[in-house]
Every structure is written in C-alpha cells, then in structure tokens.
Amino acid sequence: MTGIFSESRVLLVDDHPVFREGLKNVVDSHPKLRVVAEAASVGEALRRLQENRIRLLITDLSLADGTGHELLERALPLYPELRALVLSISRQGSDIVRAVQAGASAYLTKSASRDEILRALEEVLEGRSFLHSDVSDAVVGNMRIPRVLETPTEVTPREAQVLDLLVRGYTPKEIGAELKLSISTVKTHMRSLYRKMKVSTRTQLVLKTLGPTE
C-alpha cells in the first residue's frame, strides 16, 4: 500500500480519557499509524500540533473549551498536509456537513466498530473520504447537487445516483453492485461528474457536493 503519509503520526482529541485510551489501542493496531499525542481541548490540540509532526487528527466535536468544528477550521488551514477524521456521538446532518466543509476526510459515530474505524483510517491514509453508514441518511438530507454548475451540461439521473452513493461512502465496486453497472461504467460516470463539477478527485467531488440546503 502506498499511502499519502511519510510518517503516520496521530493526534487524538477527546475530553474523555477512557475513550481516548480505547481509541489509542485501535489506532495503534494499524501498522501504518502511531498515536504520538493526545488532547482534551481545542487549545491543547493546537499546541500539540505545533509540537509534533502530526499527519492525522482524530477529533470529537464536543471538547472542553469549544468544538471539533472550531479545531478543524483553525488547524487545517495552518497545516495543509494534515488530514482529519471526526469521531462523534452526533448524527446531526448539520454537524456532519460542517465537519466535511471544514476539511474532515471522514466522519464516524462513536457506535462504530473497531473494524469500521480501521476501514475509515485506511481510506483516509489512501487520500479518500469515508462516511459511517450511521450518518448517511442525515448527510443525504443535507446534501445538494449544486444548482449552477460551471458547465452548461446538467448532471444526468444516473450520474446523480452515482454521486449519491459516493457521498454515502460507497466504493466504485459497491456502486456497481448497487446499481447493477460494471465498474468501468461507474468510473465513466465519475469522470463525467469530475468534468462537470470541475474537480479531479473523489474527495473533492464529495466535498463540493456536501452543503446545507438553501
């Protein structure tokens, strides 16, 4: 596997020490990740980011002195190579969308299993996005295909189906199985979506698609 990180150093941010300890055990079980710092607040997390060469930030939304949203909005512009995963009890569509808009690559609820967390970590390591199945309905309720695309060509109904499943975290293979399409056909639709929405990667496509309803 060729990941995006030269060093897979992780910062855990959660104001519950017992939860952090359990999560640390899960993260450290991944062969390409190592937890090197922990924090319970936005301020402490920002200090840890200054002190360590962090490549992956895992944060809750409810923190001792603020929110995970605030942390993402402050930290990610300062550290362009940093990737972020949110692990929260919240299933609110607005929370999920704001986290993704702030730059989170993955969002899971705290009901996620060990295997689901490891799968999300793997996706993030490979530069992809991941949304836990628990939050897919909430996200779809808060998503929209941009009404004004930068091209006169409209998104087709089939492309909209593919886009919906991409936002839900499906892989091209899973989309093909769901829609009874070949993987090559799915990838053709994805390339068309990239062109119409002026993006070059799946993560950019998902991030551009997610947004609050107007």
**pLDDT tens digits for 9-34?**
999 999 999 999 999 999 999 999 99
For range 23-47, the mean pLDDT = 95
pTM to 2 decimal places? 0.69
For tokens 């300062």, name the residue.
78
The CA–CA distances, whole Å, from 207 to 48, 115, 167 equal: 27, 24, 9
Residue closest to 63 by CA, chosen among 79, 44, 48: 44
- Angle formed by the axes of helices 202-209 and 93-102, to 10°? 130
Residue 152 tokens, joined? 């006169």
Judge whether 45 and 74 are in contact, CB under 8 Å: no
pLDDT (tens digit per residue) in 133-159? 666 555 555 554 454 444 445 788 899
Domains and CATH numbers, the chain: 9-138 (3.40.50.2300), 144-209 (1.10.10.10)
- Quote the pLDDT of residue 194: 87
Judge whether 172 and 202 are in contact, CB under 8 Å: no
Burial 147-172 (b: 16+ CB within 10 A, else e): eeeeeeeebeeebeebbbbbbbbbeb
Residue 16 tokens, joined? 């519950």
Residue 5, Cβ density class (10 Å: 0-12 exposed, 13-18 middle, ≥19 buried): middle
